[in-house]
Amino acid sequence: MALPELAEDLANLARVQSEHPSADGSARLLVTLRDGQAVETVRLPRTACVSTQVGCAVGCVFCMTGRSGLLRQVGSAEIIAQVVLARQQSNAAQGSVHGHG
């Protein structure tokens, strides 16, 4: 990254807690945000999917994300940090957004 200040700011916003690669070339990244909340970012061969919410308001009984309810919206800088983290390990040129973390 060209600007050390920017790299430090992004590192303070989000960090990869764990990575779970798949045989198809994708990987799920458990990303911890500055306030300790976690979201999932998915790195695909040509794109990255990022979370825009911590938790989910739907509350499906089979889903771990929905069990805690909707905790908060992910900020725009935190969304960009997810993209940067995913792109550090791939050539993803595109991105998509999913609602819950």
Q: What are the extents of the domains in the chain?
A: 4-98
Residues 6+ apart with CB under 8 A from 28: 19, 20, 22, 40, 41, 42, 43
Q: Given this model, what pLDDT does residue 1 score?
A: 47
What pTM was estimated for this model as a whole? 0.80
Q: Given this model, what pLDDT does residue 62 score?
A: 75
Of 67, 43, 47, 45, which is closest to residue 55 (Cα–Cα)? 67
Intervals of the chain under pLDDT 70: 1-3, 90-101
The residue length of the chain stands at 101
As given in the structure block, the two tokens for residue 90 are 């791939």
76-87 and 4-13 helices, crossing angle to 10°: 110
Question: What count of other Cβ atoms lies within 10 Å of the Cβ of residue 64?
Answer: 8
